Amino acid sequence: MPRLSDPFQVKGLQLRNRLVMAPMVTGLAQDFAPSQAQIEWYRQHARGGVGMVVVESVAIAPDAMILSRLLGIWEDGQVAGLRRLARAIQAEGVPAVLQIVHGGARAVREDLAQERVSASDVALLPGPRPRPMTEAEILGVIDAFAQAARRAREAGFDGVEVHAAHYYLLSQFLSPYTNKRADRWGGDRAGRSRLAAEVVKAVRRAVGPDFPIFCRLHSMESLEGGMSTEDAVYFAQALEAAGVDLLDLSGIGSSSLGDWQGQPFLNSSSLLPKGSPGAVFAPSAGRIRAAVGIPVITVGKLSEPGLAQEVLDRGQADLVALARPLIADPLVAEKLLAGRDGEINRCGECLACFAAIRKGPIRCSVNAAV
């Protein structure tokens, strides 16, 4: 059985161990470019012992932003700033992968009158329902993802991660909850996975055969009418066939219905409810891992002593990602690997980090340095 401290290789990428920094919006970007504080944030985390860093969501178009203080990658002039970010991580001997996203029905809007687009007209935020995308708009999004991936490569990143999770645009096409289309972009599993697969194929054409492409996908959703793990297995195989080298498997940890002027909207979160056990997504990740020939990452409250190693022992994942535990303690990876679990400054699951990034820079109630 692999140990957490064992090195790992995926498509030419060398990881010194099996712990990964999960993508996390920091709210530190300035004018859609990395600020010095953001570069220092990633440098500090690369020094903290993880084997790989997946850099936070970067918007592929100005109207695709998932929060207002996001990084952008929609024009060539944005490459130079992103290159400084990639280099800061790589200078610590850690590969840097960039996550690219389109928010779709969950794109941020200062003015609610400004429309959002999606697979269908299912609302996922307060505001008017999103407008179903036209064929031409869908083809435009495929091209925008491909151009963004090309820029990520030009910026010197070691790989790119296509965000097809968390009910952002590609996830809105995958899920039967949000995709009610009757054309070739909807309907059965093949139709619902067409956009994500076409994005991956276009990204592959843009970055060449050797550049690692990751895809973030749900292994599980706790949501009635959402996608099942059987759907996820199908999508994982379709994305592998399209050219994905690694699946970063996340999930929907909680959901509820909100109300905007009498119109319901689906509130969903990738975070497991406070107090729930760790590794909840790991069993479904293991089912997907058994059905594909590429490595998988699992995530979700995995910093409890021994838990990350247990996931590897059970064959549920090749790599284990941490998000909030790294905000609370940037040295958590080093401490887990050295068996110094007792020294970890633990996340209190208060969600102050999540609340802060809606308005500004990330905050943490148990790590005063953040």
Q: Which residues bind ligand FMN (CB under 6 A)?
A: 22-25, 56-57, 99, 163, 165-166, 216, 250, 270-271, 299-301, 322-325, 353-354, 357, 362
Cβ 73 to ligand FMN, closest distance in Å?
A: 13
Q: What are phi and psi of 229, to 5 degrees?
A: -65, -30
Structure-token pair, residue 99: 């996550």
Decide if 178 contacts 168 (C-beta within 8 A). no
Q: Which is nearer to ligand FMN, 186 or 279 (CB)?
A: 279
- Residue 57, H or E segment: strand 52-59
Measured from the CB atom, is 132 or 272 closer to ligand FMN?
272
Kindly report the length of the chain. Answer: 370
DSSP code of residue 22: P
- Residue entry with tokens 């054309």: 183
Q: Which is nearer to ligand FMN, 56 or 158 (by Cβ)?
A: 56
Give the residue with the Cβ less far from ligand FMN, 186 or 253. Answer: 253
**Shortest CA distance to 220 belongs to which of 275, 268, 161?**
268
Sign for the CA dihedral angle at 176, 197, 65, 347 comes to positive
In the bound state with ligand FMN, the residue whose beta carbon lies nearer, of 219 and 250, is: 250
State the nearest-atom distance from the C-beta of 362 to ligand FMN, in Å.
6
- Tokens representing 265 are 């909207």
Query: What distance in Å separates the CA atoms of residue 264 and residue 236, rounded to the nearest whole number?
Result: 30
Nearest approach, Cβ of 66 to ligand FMN (angstroms)? Answer: 7
Find the shortest distance in angstroms from Cβ 40 to ligand FMN: 17
- Provide Rg for the chain, Cα atoms: 19
Could you tell me the smallest distance in angstroms from the CB atom of residue 252 to ligand FMN?
10
The least distance separating ligand FMN from the CB of residue 165, rounded to whole angstroms, comes to 6
Of 99 and 120, which has the nearer Cβ to ligand FMN?
99
